[in-house]
């Protein structure tokens, strides 16, 4: 079973996302964001379904604004897929797991 990691500072983001050996789904979110809270259980399902093949990392845009700015995050929730340290796909808005996987190019498990 996969767990969801939090990267609320640039050093943790670099370690958990940019240096990851597996694809990483990054959830750019904020505690005050209603749609962000709606997408959270879908991300838990995604993490569970993909196990160790995909990592899920949450980035609080209020706590880690530098990272959100670096990737041009303008609306939340934004889910971004990173492979080999590069952002390769994204999905904006609260969606069910299947739609998130489709947007990010992840095959359903």
- Give the residue numbers marked as catalytic: 33, 36
| Backbone phi, psi, residue 3, to 5° | -110, 160
**Residues ≥6 apart with Cβ < 8 Å to 55:** 2, 5, 16, 20, 22, 23, 24, 25, 47
**34, 6, 73, 81: CA torsion to nearest 10:** -110
């Amino acid at each position: 079973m996969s767990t969801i990691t939090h990267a609320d500072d640039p050093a943790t983001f670099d370690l958990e996302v940019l240096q990851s050996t597996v694809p990483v789904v990054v959830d750019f979110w904020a505690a005050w964001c209603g749609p962000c809270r709606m997408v959270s259980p879908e991300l838990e399902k995604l993490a569970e379904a993909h196990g160790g093949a995909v990592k899920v990392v949450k980035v609080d845009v209020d706590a880690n604004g530098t990272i959100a700015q670096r990737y041009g995050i303008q609306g939340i929730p934004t889910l971004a897929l990173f492979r080999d340290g590069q952002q390769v796909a994204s999905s904006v808005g609260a969606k069910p797991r299947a739609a998130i996987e489709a947007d990010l190019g992840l095959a359903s498990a």
